[in-house]
Structure 1
Amino acid sequence: MSNLLVFQSDFGLVDGAVSAMYGVAKSVSLDLQLYDVTHEIPAYNIFEASYRLYQSTSYWPEGTVFVSIVDPGVGSDRLSVVAKTNDNQYIVTPDNGTLTHLAQSVGLSEVREIDEKVNRLPRSYESYTFHGRDVYAYTGARLASNTITFEEVGPKLDVDQIIQLETPQVEIENRVIKGTIDILDVRFGNLWTNINKAYFEQEGIQYGDTLEVSIYDQNRQIYKNVMSFGKSFADTQVGEPLLYVNSLEKIGVALNQGSFADAYHIKTGLHSKIQIRKAAKIVYS
């Protein structure tokens, strides 16, 4: 392992929960280097936890251990696991769908159930609501510090039985590209869709083209406009919308120096749908 331990959660930083996890990790080994993906996952939002791992893990060195706790089922019979990805990263998490995007992108090579008789913070057995501290941070720290091997985490599980969330596929119908708005670039309010740039290439869409964009909440249209497809935000005037390729090579929707999500009250998730097609050319007689 790399001695790198990276945390994410929906705990926020307004109380001592994250600090307690850091303390548990450092109690296992003072040599551990502790970092964060984020602790601002919306409460109980497993889909976003899955997506943020997909967004970040591949940029860390091999052997990095990630601890992800978005766990609305804490204390239930859901499993606690450590997954090894095909990129040789380790994810310590509840088996509740958090591994969805990594399973579908880089793939999981092996998954083990955490044996809590061995890999649980001593004297914590009467606590049932803070597995992030008592099970995940503790197991992650033991793994990252080489106190235990991956095999010592616990029994091997069938990778194909790991819980996965629904992730709709992109469709093309009558030259219209149909996708979903998976998540936000939160700080700036940009929309990140599930539409890979390859779909634009397939439809012959090039930088500078004008496209018609429609956004739906359920089946109710909440936005329709034309905008350009640009390489960067500088390709439009301040306050104008644009389509661009984001850092994950997916299509994004932005408002130059503004929040598209706030301006048009756009939500994310399975029911937030987007349709994109080339705008009809205007011919003047």
Structure 2
Amino acid sequence: MKIIQKYILAATFLITTSMGVLSVAQARTPLVLLTDFGQADGAVSAMRGVAFGVDPQLNISDLSHQIPTYDIWIAAYRLYQTANYWPQGTVFVTVVDPGVGTERKSIVLKTKNGRYFVGPNNGLYTLIAERDGIAEIREIDEKVNRLPGSADSYTFHGRDVYAYTGARLAGDIIKFEDVGPVLDPVILTKIDYQKANRSGNTLRGNIPVLDVNYGNVWTNIPKSTLDQLSINAGDKLQVSIFHKDKKISTLVLPFENSFGGVKVGKPLAYVNSLLNFSLAINQGDFAKKYHVESGADWHIQVEKSASSNK
């Protein structure tokens, strides 16, 4: 009886081990989709269908399909916000493309940390390229990397070119070198915005995006820059918000480590989950109350207030 039990245990181990090896063998590079399509129609499903048609074993995920229509800047920030949490080798198919069918190039950008971004050269990769660096850019050769039978379609490159090429790359059907010819990185279209910087006791930066669920205002000023002014919990900060050259508001706010540092309904400054300077109202909507929006033309100025108690 003991001998039989040993054989059963050994067989179970071999089967379990074999299944584990099989699972590893079937694993695929993640293919991540980002669009402004919404999901009220079949556009996203069509892209997924094309990708699965290339390789039924693909590991397809969604970053978001709720990017505001035509908003290249917000899409660029969502890539910046999330890309580095995905494994090296991940392929991002990014389709916010108001210039579809025009002369803007279709490209695949490989970052220095080994992630791939498939989409139009229209500014989508501004923040990714600055933070992660460009290893190489290739133009998609549509004579090879285009959904068969789609040559007469000019307005859905997300399905016909980007999903198809991204799936072939993620499925290891093509190598990066097979995408198309190498392009000089200087051709990359970039969106101009206020970089985070310090001048004396003044910090300046951009308001790239709002925390859409709560109305918190996020900036691109990193904690490391904030620390240069020796700002600590309880300090008072003078914060001015601008849209283009127009000042929207100036406030004196306490800097706190978390929302509970102030009473419910009161505003504060804090460092968000990306370790960037941000503004909020405890259980309220800062952006709505103070008429703040976001984008490349919104910026902020921060100074340590003379009324600070530190």
Give TM-score scaled by structure 2 length: 0.87
| Superposed CA offset, 1:240-281 (max 9, x none) | 111111222211111111221122221112332222112222
Q: What pairs up with 1:182-221 in 2 under 5 angstroms?
A: 182-221=208-247
Distance across 1 between alignment mates of 2:144 and 2:245 = 50
**Structure 1 residue 264 corresponds to structure 2 residue 298:** no
> Aligned match of 2:108 in 82, 85, 108?
82
**Structure 1 residue 93 corresponds to structure 2 residue 116:** no
Contact kept, 8 Å, 2:236 with 2:308, in 1: the verdict is no
Higher strand share: 1
Distance across 2 between alignment mates of 1:13 and 1:83 = 26
Code of the residue aligned with 1:27 in structure 2: it is G
Distance across 1 between alignment mates of 2:270 and 2:84 = 22
Match of 1:281 in 2: 307
CA offset at residue 75 of structure 1? 0.1
Contact kept, 8 Å, 2:270 with 2:279, in 1: the verdict is yes
Task: Answer with 1 or 2: which has the greater Rg.
Answer: 2
> Aligned match of 2:91 in 59, 65, 76?
65
Distance across 1 between alignment mates of 2:63 and 2:217 = 20
Code of the residue aligned with 1:44 in structure 2: it is Y
Contact kept, 8 Å, 2:75 with 2:124, in 1: the verdict is yes
Q: What pairs up with 1:92-241 in 2 under 5 angstroms?
A: 92-173=118-199, 175-241=201-267
CA offset at residue 282 of structure 1? 7.8
Which sits farther off after the overlay, 189-198 or 174-183?
Answer: 174-183
Distance across 1 between alignment mates of 2:286 and 2:201 = 25
CA offset at residue 190 of structure 1? 1.1
SS in 1 for 2:151: coil
Distance across 1 between alignment mates of 2:123 and 2:244 = 23
SS in 1 for 2:296: strand
Q: What pairs up with 1:25-64 in 2 under 5 angstroms?
A: 25-64=51-90
Distance across 2 between alignment mates of 1:63 and 1:144 = 8
| Seq. identity, % | 50
Distance across 2 between alignment mates of 1:25 and 1:225 = 50
Code of the residue aligned with 1:267 in structure 2: it is E
SS in 2 for 1:104: helix
Code of the residue aligned with 1:51 in structure 2: it is Y
SS in 2 for 1:270: coil
Task: Provide the aligned C-alpha RMSD in A.
Answer: 1.7
Distance across 2 between alignment mates of 1:214 and 1:158 = 39
**Structure 1 residue 249 corresponds to structure 2 residue 275:** yes
Size of the aligned set, in residue pairs, is 283
SS in 1 for 2:208: strand
Distance across 2 between alignment mates of 1:26 and 1:171 = 45
Distance across 2 between alignment mates of 1:146 and 1:171 = 41
Distance across 2 between alignment mates of 1:83 and 1:173 = 34
Code of the residue aligned with 2:160 in structure 1: it is D
| Superposed CA offset, 1:3-25 (max 9, x none) | 31100011111111111111111
Contact kept, 8 Å, 2:198 with 2:204, in 1: the verdict is yes
Distance across 1 between alignment mates of 2:218 and 2:50 = 35
Gaps of 5+ in 1: none
Gaps of 5+ in 2: 1-26
Distance across 2 between alignment mates of 1:192 and 1:64 = 26
SS in 1 for 2:83: helix
SS in 1 for 2:254: strand
Which sits farther off after the overlay, 204-213 or 73-82?
Answer: 204-213
Distance across 2 between alignment mates of 1:254 and 1:106 = 29
Distance across 2 between alignment mates of 1:111 and 1:218 = 32
Match of 2:37 in 1: 11
